Structure 1
Amino acid sequence: MSRSLDNDILSNLKSEDPSTVYRDISSILNHPPGDGLLEIELLGSSHPLEAGVHFLQDENAIAIPKLRLVQAFFIAREILSKHLLKPTIPPEEKTVGATSVILLMDPEHLTATNIRKKSIVSRLQAGALPAQVLQAEQQFVDSLLTSRLHRHTKSPTLWSHRRWLIQNLGSLRSSERIRSDLTNVVMIAAERHPRNYYAWSHARWLFDISNKDESFPLCYTRHSWMT
């Protein structure tokens, strides 16, 4: 999504209670149906929704009007600003929820990804199971990376955040998981955006990880999928 706002979006921002819009969009992003990835699409003004409907959903596929996302973003930014007034306090669940909306609006928002990292560290220190934390966070990040969102598929911030997840929870990685990463995340992101440097760099990094374990022979050759 472009950082600039269309005139029709600006003129309609106050057409509905933004708090309700934020609650609905934040909920679907932070509590997706099932364990699969979300397929997210942003709708322009040519696809208006009736009042009270803030997104369309068909199983794991959701379509959000740009107007609704902008409305939700303003509420999310307020929540984030309040948290930043007390930076030493671990992020609350509502703050992390707000970062989901912010990253959908702006995939290069470093503060949002840093808050998610702090939340993960805090949860692990409190005794949360690493496998559950990793699965939940990757479900969100991979949904952004593989959806038809032009800026997200090649976002250096999102790919860096994904690498951080694997580096800090790397003991949970298996050969099957790495294969899945290559097939279901890297390949799809590369198809969504041609010449996706960051996706292929991530693939090379995963390949290097796999090479450190001789018991894990990748089913791909370097020249067949890294060119």
Structure 2
Amino acid sequence: MKFGPFVPGPAHLGGLLDLDTKARRKTIPPPSRRHFLPLAAAAAAAATAPTGCGDEMSYMRGDLLTKTRKLVKGLAKPAPAWLKAMEQAPPVTFPRTDGKIEKIELPEDVYVKRFFRRHPDSLYHDAIKISGFDPPPARVFAWRVLELKEQGVNEDDAMAVADMEYGAEKKAKKLAYKELKQIARREGKPPPPNPYPSAIKEIQAEEKKYVRDRFHNPKVLEIVNKMKEDRQMFLQDRAAASGASGEGQ
């Protein structure tokens, strides 16, 4: 008895598909615990990230090397190529004992404060000449005191000498400007501007334009009148509210 060629039917095809699926399951290993570790580490890092109210328990504290070590150890990222080299030769760190940034103080700051106590009118020089090339009188005074102290002069004597030199220089500037005005008067010319103006007069000269606008500029006058009206309405409303509360009691 002879048989023809074998033709697989639907039942046979279903069995072959089941066998192929079983073979694939055997060749592909199931996901192990280590596949989920990077995701868990990343989730832990995100959960412990600072939220704006204290970062004592932050996972990302420290410098670049410390952060990278934590991420690599937690399997949150692969180890970069530079990690081993940086671990062998880490960057220089300057530790602080208290963790606070100290205020920068210069040796002459003590004498600058004493100069301001003696001459309070010189306080404006620092505010207006802070970006100038000429140092303010307070710094010149303090440097002179330090220079005399290096020469062996007593502190009180050094401050007295520096103060006397400052007063003499101030008088010399006033005398020089007085002579300039006398020369201009003899020649029939208007007096020249003071080459040594005080800081207060310089500030007043800068603000003179705005003071004039306060009384003559229409836009400024309109704003001032509007502010006065608002102020008057506010006072009236407050008086009415206080009167109503008094009647209610």
Which of the five TM-score ranges fits, normalised by the shorter chain? under 0.3
TM-score by length of 2: 0.22
Instruction: Answer with 1 or 2: which has the greater Rg.
Output: 2
Structure scoring higher RCO (CA < 8 A, sep ≥ 6) equals 1
Higher strand share: 1
Higher helix share: 2
